[in-house]
Structure 1
Amino acid sequence: MKVAILQLTSSDDPAENLVMVQDMIADAVSQGAEFICTPEVTNCVSLDRKHQASVLSYQEGDPTLSGLQSSAKEHGIWLSIGSLALKGGEGDRFVNRSFLIGPDGKITATYDKIHMFDVQVNEAETYAESSGYAPGDQAVVADIGAAKVGLTICYDLRFPYLHRALAKAGADILLVPSAFSPVTGAAHWKPLLRARAIETGCFVIAAAQTGTHAAQTGKKRTTYGHSLAVSPWGEVLLDAGVAPGVTLVDFTLSDVPRSRERIPALSHDREFSGP
């Protein structure tokens, strides 16, 4: 399977971002990509809730979603939209929703980010995702024909039980689209992604946002980049560095059962008490 990872520096303008992503999809297809993955908040990177409220849409009628569905159909490829920020969450909050689009342009699966990034990284960098976004509560595994994929988003990476559940439900590939903090990215990004692959015997595809994101209003956000593809044995197959662009990697899906036969940890669970 030839997979393309799109590393983006999305702005806070969804219309501008859509044109950029569609051009990158066409580029990836010209290089032979069969499955294309975009990062978290593909449509809008913004720390300004008022701006988000003015530019974001509900899922029904969202121009980014419909535009990327058209691209998937036009090119006849599977497309993982890592996530879109959308209206429609509980109360006045948004949702951080991932979409899997089939070659016919139809939505085959959606997933709402379960774990909210509510952290103080340091004195200058604080996030309160749950104040603006409603969390999901449903884990999702979806079929893309040649493989099954488990859907996660960014901060979910720190919760190994979710990824183990996805693998035990049949996932061959774990998707971890992200907009990672530069501070935590430098310290934790690569070891966490390798750990999730090793623990589950899955391929891991992590399409990332990168760089400093243009903002019409509010503080500009900076993200870590370094989109990764990791083998079921924990080998880093691709590191996209910090520049936006299209990178491709070839997967041999038979590596999944081979790795699990060597270390069959998914079948070695035991009940225990305490602590």
Structure 2
Amino acid sequence: MSSQPYETTATTIAIVLAGGASSRLGGTDKTRVQVAGATTLERVLRSAAADQRIVVGPAGDDGAALAHSHVARFVLEDPPRSGPLAALARGVAEIPGAEGTSADSDSGATVLVLGGDMPLLRAETLAALASTSASEQKVAALAGSDGHVQYLCAAWPLARLRAALGALAQPDGGWANLSLRRLYDQLETDELLTRAAAGAEGADIDTPDALEAAVQAAGPRIALAQVEVSEDVEVTQGTVRAAVGAAAAAGAQLVLLPEATLTPFGTDLRAVSETHHASFEQLIQELADEHHLVVVAGSFTPADGDRVHNTVIARGPADENGPVDEPRAAAAAGAAGEPGAVRADYRKIHLFDAYGSCESETVAPGDELVMIDLGESRLGIATCYDVRFPEQFAALARRGAQAILLPLAWADGPGKSEQLRLLLQARALDSTTVVLAADQAPPAQYTGTAARGIGQSAVIGPLGQIRQELGREPGLLLVDLDLAEVREARAALPVLEHGVPLPRD
């Protein structure tokens, strides 16, 4: 299973400037401040989609672990504390072939210039900056709503960066006490492209207020696991173990698996629910305990007669120290609940009696909205066909959900891919929530009629933007929730406030 959803066509090198203590933070090293379960530096490293990662700054106690986890190298400024431009030049000097390398040989490489104190940088944004820089051979930088260019979130063609640094080198050598502004001042107007920041992704930690704002904006890291579900329960259990392990290794605090992860549609749902649901639930709990995260997965539980409930189970660590500020289950009415481990079950409300299918023959509907709380984030749960009913998503949002977990086993067919993409975007807009959809990866040789997924797992922003999307193959998407983005979306588009009851026939 791939855990690298961000790909670039040319070599990308990330240089992260991670200087030491900040006087405005009382001498604290702002790159080692904890934000939503990880240090700011670790959050930057895991968002930097690059072939090489070079950190200019002290390794500290965590340097070896960070270097191993993110395939990074730590180097020190020379001389120490000589300024950001000198630090950047030191990082560039670490790129292979720095000495005597021609501009032509550099033409395929792109350098991400990043600050180690920017905890809400997004991997998809950095990948887009790198791609734009590589294709246009220009500098692509993040810019705030005021148009201010964020110098420490930009992608440079390597040859252009080397040339700019060379032009600024002081006569006696070095770049001591020179600011990054001097570097950008060399660019012609048409050499700099900007991309508007969304939410708090452009925030850096320079003051206590800025740190507090970042902490308030930072939600949990969530993994969407697009897996193929086998008719052999034991095979699927192995797939689930691998997916949760990969998500945990990537720093996820919650992993979302597809609808019907227990067994795919087209099998005897009642028999499997009676025989294997309990062991599947136990597996989910064991994985939550082992990896200290929340696991959300689609199962089936016995209902009336011969039917089952299409049930999404959410399980967090059973010990008292849950991940991310003690997650908790939230009641259907939206109450905060008492701190404790996540344990919630959502029974699919809307049943897929459409396109020739009749889910209600084998599945009984649920009738309650369900949410879970993870730190300061509230996550609603819906399932597959629910996505066609906007009122459910709006109701979850009105009860406080900032994001909605949507496991899928989407049925294939003409136009179904386009419908899924459109529906995900529409529900995000209806509710101004982040929609997190995890579908099954369809088996390559499957020719049956039961729904086995089409892939296309996706992260949709609260104003309907497709942030990330997979194809049909198994894979893993990672998203760091930005609660500031949701607040801004709801201020700009207050549909939850403007909705009024309509007369019924």
TM-score (ref. length: structure 1)? 0.88
Contact 1:210 1:225 in 2 (8 A): yes
- SS of residue paired to 2:435: strand
Q: 2:464 aligns with which of 209, 234, 255?
A: 234
Q: 1:85 aligns with which of 292, 300, 312?
A: 300
Contact 2:377 2:401 in 1 (8 A): yes
1:199-218 matches, cutoff 5 A: 199-212=430-443
- SS of residue paired to 1:119: coil
Q: 2 CA distance for matches of 1:259 and 1:34?
A: 24
Could you tell me which runs of 5 or more consecutive residues in structure 1 were left unpaired when the two chains were aligned.
121-125
Displacement after TM superposition at 1:201 (Å): 1.1
Task: Kindly report the root-mean-square deviation, in angstroms, between the aligned alpha carbons of the 2 structures.
Answer: 2.1
Correspondence 1:42 to 2:261? yes
1:1-275 matches, cutoff 5 A: 1-49=220-268, 52-57=269-274, 62-81=278-297, 83-86=298-301, 88-104=302-318, 107-120=342-355, 126-183=356-413, 185-212=416-443, 222-273=452-503
Contact 2:270 2:306 in 1 (8 A): no
CA separation of 1:272/1:156 partners in 2, compared to 1, >3 Å: closer, same or farther? closer
Displacement after TM superposition at 1:152 (Å): 0.6
Does 37-46 or 142-151 show the bigger shift?
142-151
Q: 2 CA distance for matches of 1:201 and 1:220?
A: 32
Contact 2:299 2:311 in 1 (8 A): yes
Contact 2:408 2:453 in 1 (8 A): no
Displacement after TM superposition at 1:153 (Å): 0.4
Contact 1:6 1:247 in 2 (8 A): yes
Displacement after TM superposition at 1:16 (Å): 1.6
CA separation of 1:271/1:7 partners in 2, compared to 1, >3 Å: closer, same or farther? closer
Contact 2:294 2:342 in 1 (8 A): no
Displacement after TM superposition at 1:134 (Å): 0.7
Q: 1 CA distance for matches of 2:240 and 2:433?
A: 27
Displacement after TM superposition at 1:47 (Å): 0.9
Displacement after TM superposition at 1:267 (Å): 0.7
Contact 2:317 2:342 in 1 (8 A): no
Displacement after TM superposition at 1:141 (Å): 2.1
User: What are the Cα deviations for residues 50-73 of structure 1, in whole angstroms up to 9, with x where unaligned?
Assistant: xx34433378x6111110111011
Displacement after TM superposition at 1:179 (Å): 0.5
- How many residues end up aligned between the 2 structures? 263
Displacement after TM superposition at 1:43 (Å): 1.1
Higher Rg: 2
RCO greater where, 1 or 2, for CA within 8 Å and sep 6 or more?
1
Identity over aligned pairs, percent: 30
- SS of residue paired to 2:395: helix
CA separation of 1:271/1:112 partners in 2, compared to 1, >3 Å: closer, same or farther? closer
